[in-house]
Amino acid sequence: MNDGGGQRRFGPLGTVLVIVPTYNEAENIEAVVARVRAAVPEAHVLVADDNSPDGTGKIADELAAADPQVSVLHRRGKEGLGAAYLAGFDWGAERGFGVLVEMDADGSHQPEELPRLLTALKGADVVLGSRWVPGGRIVNWPRSREFLSRGGSTYSRLLLDVPIRDVTGGFRAFRAEALKELGLRDVASQGYCFQVDLARRAVRAGLRVVEVPITFVERERGDSKMSRDIVVEALWRVTAWGVAGRVGSLLGRRGR
């Protein structure tokens, strides 16, 4: 939102929708939903399930039947994290939610830290829960995983020229009107690259993006969705975006 003089204005947040994508999270989903509802009782939860064969969707349906502030979006199959969030954003926008939150289903994002993100959103368009700002930390990660995540964020930040420390993090809160400015219809990236894409779009759109420290805890139950394909996709897409941006800047300077 802009006041016409170049300054952003921040109004009331509106109702919060926490979007939790799931694929084979039967061991985790009930506890995560309960923790969200306890941390922010006024928030609604949308479980976006990619037709999990382990029965996650059925558990989510039972939670929704017992709590009117829990809903389930059943999707046809495993289509990726980005597609699940985009579907959740559309679902929330159609129902008039003022804030849309991304949160993992495995417990790595602490629901008890959600109030901190929402408080920061009162003066921002987008708030990122960050592992790599002062006060942020990770628990139970091997050094190799930390190196990969830190390296990926640093590479993305430098190549894309975005002033964000944790570019790949997935614990985020968006004002609904801010999402409309990101041009999400042409988003094709998935996995962790989806998070990089949204971050660069937010910066490019001139939105106020704020990072707050979080504690990221490695999952205790279930299997990680990280794969070699996700890493490769992120690497080539970020590289392509960065090269295209620099070529565009160079051509623009030459054309003056």
What value does the mean pLDDT of the chain take?
88
Burial class (CB in 10 A: 0-12, 13-18, 19+), 147: exposed
How is 140-166 classified by DSSP, letter by letter?
Answer: S--HHHHHHHHHHHHHHHHHHT---S-
Confidence (pLDDT) at 242: 74
Average pLDDT in the 215-243 region?
A: 72
Q: Which tokens go with 184?
A: 């999400």
Mean pLDDT is highest, among 8-17, 144-153, 240-249, for 8-17
Per-residue pLDDT tens over the stretch 111-130:
999 999 999 999 999 999 99
Confidence (pLDDT) at 157: 84
Per-residue pLDDT tens over the stretch 71-125:
999 999 988 899 999 999 999 999 999 999 999 999 999 999 999 999 999 999 9
- Number of Cβ within 10 Å of residue 8's Cβ equals 14
Q: Which tokens go with 160?
A: 């894309």
What domains can be seen in the chain, in order of their start residue? 16-250 (3.90.550.10)
User: Any idea of the CA torsion for 55, 56, 62, 67, to the nearest 10 degrees?
Assistant: 180
Q: Kindly give, in sequence order, each residue whose CB lies less than 8 Å from that of residue 4, ignoring residues fewer than 6 positions away.
A: none
Per-residue pLDDT tens over the stretch 175-196:
999 999 999 988 877 767 899 9
Burial class (CB in 10 A: 0-12, 13-18, 19+), 171: buried
CA triplet 183, 149, 87: central angle to 5 degrees? 30
Can you tell me the distance from the alpha carbon of 252 to that of 138, in angstroms, rounded to the nearest whole number? 41
Q: Kindly give, in sequence order, each residue whose CB lies less than 8 Å from that of residue 200, ignoring residues fewer than 6 positions away.
A: 156, 160, 162, 167, 241
Average pLDDT in the 16-39 region?
A: 97
Its pTM stands at 0.87
